[in-house]
Structure 1
Amino acid sequence: MKPFDVYPLINVTPVKAAGSKIWDDQGTEYLDLYGGHAVISIGHSHPHYTKRIKEQLDNIAFYSNSVQIPIQKELATKLGEISGYADYDIFLCNSGAEANENALKLASFETGKKGFISFSKGFHGRTAGAVALTDNPKIIAPFNEHDHVHILPFNKLDKVEKQLAKGDIAGIIVEGIQGVGGIVVPNQEFLLGLSKLAKQYGAKLILDEVQSGYARTGRFFAHQWVEDLKPDLITVAKGMGNGFPIGGVLISPEFKASHGLLGTTFGGNHLACAAALAVLEVIEEENLIEAASRNGEVLMKELSAIEGVTEVRGKGLMIGFDLAVEAAPVRSALIHEHKIFTGSSGGKHTIRLLPPLNIETKALTLFIQKLKAVLTTNKVH
C-alpha cells in the first residue's frame, strides 16, 4: 500500500523545525514563509507549546465528549477573552472544513431553510457541504452539486439581495480575507452590507476565518477590521492548533443548543485543547496581534517597491502579491536555490505569504533580498 497520489509534492523532506526554520533530511536549512497553509501561527516547536502538550500527555490525551472535559471550558473562556467574543459559545471539531460543515448545519437548523450563498473564488473546504460552496468545479464531484447553492460575485451586494429576496436562503458564508482565491480583501461596505441584508431577510452570516483568523491579519479575526460587524457564526481552524488538528465554530447567543444537535468523536479532546490553549497564551504573551500588523505593514511596503511586483494585497501577515511573470518559476527558485518556502494562490502570477506570526524581522529582510535576486535573473524573464 502507498499514499493515494493526490498532492503535487515539492522535492523536500522536512525532518525538524524550530521557529520560522525547517531542516530537511540532508541537514539543509529553509526559511518558512508559508507555515503549512497558515497553520504554524506561533512558530514551529515553540517551547511553551511543546511543554503544554507534553504535560497533557502525561495526564490524559483523549476521552470522548460523553464525559466532563474541563479544559474545553478553559479554552472557550480564553478564546472569548482574546477574540472579543466572550458572549459566544464554541463547538469544537477537528478542521476548517468540519467547522464550516457544522456552521452550515446550524444556520439551516435555526432558519429551517436549505439555501446558501457563497462567493466567486471562495474556498471553504473539501467535505460535502463545504466543497459545494467552494468556487472550484474541479474538486466538486457530482454528489456535491446542489441546486440550493448560489455562488455570487464577490464584493457585489445587489446580486446578494436579489437572491435573498427569494426567501429560501439559510445563510451567507464569506471569508474574512479570501486565501486560496488570491488574498482578496472584502470591502468594508460589502461585509457590513451582507450583515444588514442577512438580518433583513432572516439569514445567518457565517464568517470563515479558518485561514484569516487567529491574529494573522493584525486583528484577532480579519472581519474585526470592520467596526460594528458581529457575524452569527465564525469558523476557525488552521492556526488554532499550530499543527495539532483542531477547529471550531463560534456561535452567537441567539442559537439554542440541544443534545445531539451536533457531534464529533475527536473534536475538543484534551490534547487538542492543550495545544489550542498554548497558542492563545503565546499570542497574548508575545503580543503577536500587534507584531503581525507591524511586520505585515513593513513587508507589504517593501514588496510594493520591488520592480516586477505588480500588486500587493492583504492585511498583517496574510499577504498575496502578483508578479509581471508567472509565479511558479519564481517560487521554484526561492525554494530550491534560496531555501525559502512560499505558497501559491489565485492565478498564475500570485505568491502567497503566511509566515509564523512571531517571525524575525531579519528573516523578512532576507526574503526581500532573495526575491529581488530571483526577479533579476534571466530564469524568470
Structure 2
Amino acid sequence: MYAKVYGETTCGINGEQIIVEVDISNGLPSFDIVGLPDTSVKESRERVRAALKNSGLIFPMTRITVNLAPADLKKDGSGLDLPIAVGILVSSGVLQQEQVDDTIFVGELALDGTIRQIAGVLPMILHARDIGRKNIVIPAGNCAEGRLVDGIDVLIPASLLELVEHLRGEKVLDVLDKEAICAAATSVYDVDFAEVRGQQVVKRALEIAAAGGHNILMVGSPGSGKTMLARRLPTILPPLTEAEALEVTKIYSIAGLLQRQERVMLERPFRSPHHTISSSALIGGGSVPRPGEVTLSHHGVLFLDEFPEFSRTALEVLRQPLEDGYVTISRVQASLTFPANFIMCTAQNPCPCGYLGDKKRECSCKQFEIGR
C-alpha cells in the first residue's frame, strides 16, 4: 500500500519541502530508505521502529520502502523521523491519506515515541507557509520559533501517540498562539558603551564605524581595553528591524545555537573566534555546507582579537564576504550562498610583546620581529 507525507529539511538558510513516499508490500521483513539520505536519516529506521512499538502502534513486519523526494537533494538531520513514521501509519491503514494531506511533519523521535527538538525549525515553518500549507507539526521544544510565523497553524504534540489521536479526531490539539516580533522594545545587552571611561579617541572611532558600517582595527598594548571596547560596539548599533531579527534568528536556528527559552534574536550578534580557527569554520563548510562565523555575525560584529596570529588562509577567505556581503560555498553535494553582512572589528598588539611605544614599559622585541 502506498502513502505520501510531507516533511521539511533545510538547504542553506532556507527550508525545503521533502515528499516522503512509503510503500508497504509483501516480502521478507525489511526497511529501506532511498533518496540520498545521510547517516542520521538512515538511522531513522531504528528510531521509527522502536517509537512505533513503544507507543502501542503496530510496526508492519513486511517489506517497507521509503523514498525521500527530490532524490537529488542531500537530506541530513533527524527531522524526517516524524514524517517517515506517519507515512508508515498511513500506508499500514492506521491513518487515512486525507488526514495528512494539508500538514507538514517535522521532528525527531525518541525510542519511547516522544518528539524531540531539532535545529532549523524556523526556516522550515516559513517555507511551509510560503508554499501554501495549512498546518505544520513541530516538536514542543521548538514552540518559541513556531510563535513567530503568521499564516500557518502550528501544532506541538508531545508524542507520536498524541499526534495519531489528533489526526484521528480523538484528541484535538490546540493551535500555537502567535507572538509579534518587537525587536526595539525588549533588546537588552549585558554590557553598555556608556560604561567606558576615557579612551575618547577610540570611542569616537567606534562611533564613526558604527554609524557608517565601517571595519576598524585597534592597535594597543595589552590591558589597554581593546577587547572591552569591541564587546560594546554592538550596543551602539541601530536596533534590529523585524526583518533583520527574523533573518538572524533563522541563521542561529539552522546552526542549532538558538536557546530553547529564546524567542527571537533581539540583539545584534557578536562573534569572537579564537585565532586558531580554520578557514572552513570561519567561512562555513562541511560536506553539506553549514554557516560559519562570518554568517553567524550577519547584521552584527565579527571581532578578531590578536589579528596577526590568524593564519593567512583564514584571512584571505574574508575577502569575498567583506566586499560582497555574502559568501558562496561549493561542495560536491551542494553549492550554497549564505549572507555575511557584518562589521569586522580587529585588535592587535604593536609588536610581539605588546609594549612598543609604551611610556611605562620598555619593548623587549628585536627589530626584525617588529618588522615581521
TM-score bracket for the superposition, by shorter chain length: under 0.3
Bigger Rg, which one: 2
TM-score of the superposition, structure 2-length normalised? 0.27
Query: Higher helix proportion, which one?
Result: 1
With normalisation by structure 1, the TM-score equals 0.26
